[in-house]
């Protein structure tokens, strides 16, 4: 079997529902518009963004129950290559509602079913068989209930010897474990956002330079070979082992921030898989995130928008 160029792993997927109401008011029945339904979860959205940008990936997704079957069917309908892993329970759902009176967005995210050691071990065994030399393996999204925060390190260890390169985009306890207990088996790239960066540092990061200081410190401590931190409208910061790079987006009207980070990771991974370096990947990722915020609800980046915005996203060293 040929090894995929890009492998994405989603442990806590969701059926994403998005809708709008005239105004959010407590106590009233809120009459929603017809909902949009999308397969969601970090790795799934990364694979979807890659597909939108003309690339291919193999998505390993933990799915269960009727909701999981609906997610599988939607992924197949989008032309995504899928390797389903049995989830110990029903796939969760999430809901985002936009208040049309002020364009505020409310996001409700369910926790997903509990995992046990047997499922984790089986997943690690499966994922170790799929990538080959050069495969970019993307572990993206939150860890499910019951999964130890050491899973990202265990995933890196499981892939050691395959020649795969690991990109991790996670949050919460998994990110804290990665950042605070560096190990020999570490990801090539660790990505997270500025809010998580401030929680890690215990201080306000009020400039891209301060954010780059944290990225450089983490990489030099052996947390990852390279660190990317998303700074919202300020752009994205990268420390690649030698350089501190900032890529600023183009000012655009923001319709929804949902999926911007996943669009970034999709374009970032696709650029690397095509031979680009980390700075080029940062540039393409920034353009994709820039494009994603222009779309409604849970829609991801559009290739034509990425192409148009790319020249205006400015790279600089800091």
Which positions are catalytic?
A: 262
Give the residue carrying structure tokens 């999709």. Answer: 266
First-residue to last-residue Cα distance in the chain: 44
Give the residue carrying structure tokens 């420390």. Answer: 239
DSSP 318: -
Contact 44/61 with Cβ under 8 angstroms? yes
245: tokens are 């790079």
The whole-angstrom separation of Cα 270 and Cα 19 is 30
> How many helices, marked H, and strands, marked E, lie in the chain?
10, 14
* Vertex 228: Cα angle to 224 and 232 (nearest 5): 155
Give the residue carrying structure tokens 């809708």. Answer: 19
CA 252 to chain centre: 21
Burial grade of 192 (CB within 10 A; 0-12, 13-18, 19 or more): buried
Helix or strand run (H / E) with residue 140: strand 136-140
The whole-angstrom separation of Cα 125 and Cα 18 is 35
């Amino acid at each position: 079997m040929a090894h995929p160029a890009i492998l994405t792993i989603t442990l806590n997927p969701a059926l994403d529902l998005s809708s709008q109401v005239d105004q959010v008011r407590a106590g009233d029945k809120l009459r929603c518009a017809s909902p949009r339904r999308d397969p969601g979860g970090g790795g799934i959205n990364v694979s979807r963004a890659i597909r939108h940008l003309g690339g291919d990936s193999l998505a390993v997704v933990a799915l269960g129950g009727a909701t999981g079957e609906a997610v599988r069917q939607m992924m197949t309908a989008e032309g995504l290559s899928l390797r389903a892993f049995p989830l110990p329970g029903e796939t969760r759902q999430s809901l985002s509602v936009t208040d049309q009176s002020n364009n505020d967005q409310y996001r409700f995210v369910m926790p997903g079913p509990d995992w046990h050691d047997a499922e984790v071990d089986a997943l690690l065994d499966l994922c170790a068989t799929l990538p080959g030399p050069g495969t970019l393996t993307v572990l993206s999204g939150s860890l499910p209930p019951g999964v130890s925060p050491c899973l990202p390190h265990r995933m890196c260890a499981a892939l050691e010897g395959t020649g795969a390169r690991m990109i991790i985009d996670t949050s919460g306890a998994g990110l804290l474990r990665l950042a605070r207990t560096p190990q020999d088996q570490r990801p090539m790239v660790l990505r997270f956002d500025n809010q998580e960066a401030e929680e890690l540092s215990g201080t306000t990061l009020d400039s891209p330079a301060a954010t780059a200081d944290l990225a450089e410190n983490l990489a030099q401590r052996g947390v990852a070979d390279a660190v990317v931190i998303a700074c919202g409208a300020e752009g994205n910061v990268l420390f690649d082992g030698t350089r501190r790079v900032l890529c600023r987006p183009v000012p655009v009207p923001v319709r929804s921030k949902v999926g911007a980070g996943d669009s970034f990771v999709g374009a970032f991974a696709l650029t690397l898989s095509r031979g680009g370096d980390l700075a080029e990947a940062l540039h393409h990722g920034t353009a994709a995130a820039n494009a994603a915020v222009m779309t409604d609800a849970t829609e991801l980046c559009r290739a034509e928008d990425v192409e148009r915005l790319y020249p205006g996203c400015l790279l600089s060293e800091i």
